[in-house]
Amino acid sequence: MSSMFAALLAASFFQSATVSEDQGSPAAEAAVTASAPDTELTDEDRQDAARDLKDSRFYNKPGATRAEYERDWNECRLIARGSRTPGGVVVVPYNSAIISPAVAAGAGMLGGLLGGAIAEGSQRRQNRQTCLLVRGWALVDVDDATKKRIAAMTEAERNAFFEDVVGSTRPGMRKIRWNNEFAAPRVAPVD
């Protein structure tokens, strides 16, 4: 029983963000949070944001610019680290008063499993992704042909491609969006 509980608990940590897939239609869900105020980005920040513009995945929000993507990506990174609120306020990275003892106990029970995952940043990356999806960005599931095309591009061509594609409105991209699955799951009917 306890191992099943641990597995369920672990699964709950590593479940993917609430996402759905569709074919190139405009954002079906309104973003729930407003973007935080503009921040000055460094070249390093821009390079970091480019880590999620790859042949295998990239973000898209029709009408948005590359600069808006870089700003949102970096803000979401700070939020996922706990050093900024989604409203844009800088906070202390950790405050024991807002972690319930029960959560701490649960985390302790799973010990190295959770600690390792968090340290590696997989959950942080997942949280950053959810943050971007909630802000109205969609994660594009790149098809094999496009992957090959991007992989064959020079750096300049790739840069120009992503400059355009982050705000592209053209249909045909298979997108993963935020869809409120935790509060409104589309549960399959059971006999």
Partner 1 sequence: MTARHAFLAALMLAPVAAPATAQLRADKPADLSQPVTLQPGQGAIVVGFRRPDKPSAGKSAKVDFRRYDSATQDIVLPPENAKETGDTTTYHVRVKSAQKQLPLEHVVTVVSEGEYVLFGASSGPAEIANTFCFGAPVFRVKAGEVVYFGDMTPYVFVKLKDGSRAMMAVAYSSFPEDARKALEGRPELAQAFRPAENRNGATYRCAGTQMLAYQIPAEYMPPPPAPPAPEPVPEDAAAEPAAVTESE
Task: Please give the residue ranges that form the binding site for partner 1 (CB under 8 A).
Answer: 5, 8-9, 11-15, 17-18, 20, 32-33, 79-80, 82, 85-87, 89, 91, 94-95, 97-100, 102-103, 105-107, 114, 118, 123, 126-127, 130-131, 134, 178, 180-188, 190
Q: Are the C-beta atoms of 150 and 158 separated by less than 8 Å?
A: yes
CA–CA separation, 168 vs 38, rounded Å?
Answer: 22
Residue 92 beta carbon to partner 1: minimum distance, rounded to whole angstroms: 9
CA–CA separation, 73 vs 77, rounded Å?
Answer: 6
Q: Are the C-beta atoms of 58 and 138 separated by less than 8 Å?
A: no
Residue 47 vs 180, nearer CB to partner 1: 180
Residue 154 beta carbon to partner 1: minimum distance, rounded to whole angstroms: 37
Residue 42 vs 95, nearer CB to partner 1: 95
Q: Where are the alpha helices (DSSP H) in 24-100?
A: 43-50, 66-81
Residue 14 vs 26, nearer CB to partner 1: 14
Residue 79 vs 150, nearer CB to partner 1: 79
Q: Are the C-beta atoms of 184 and 38 separated by less than 8 Å?
A: no
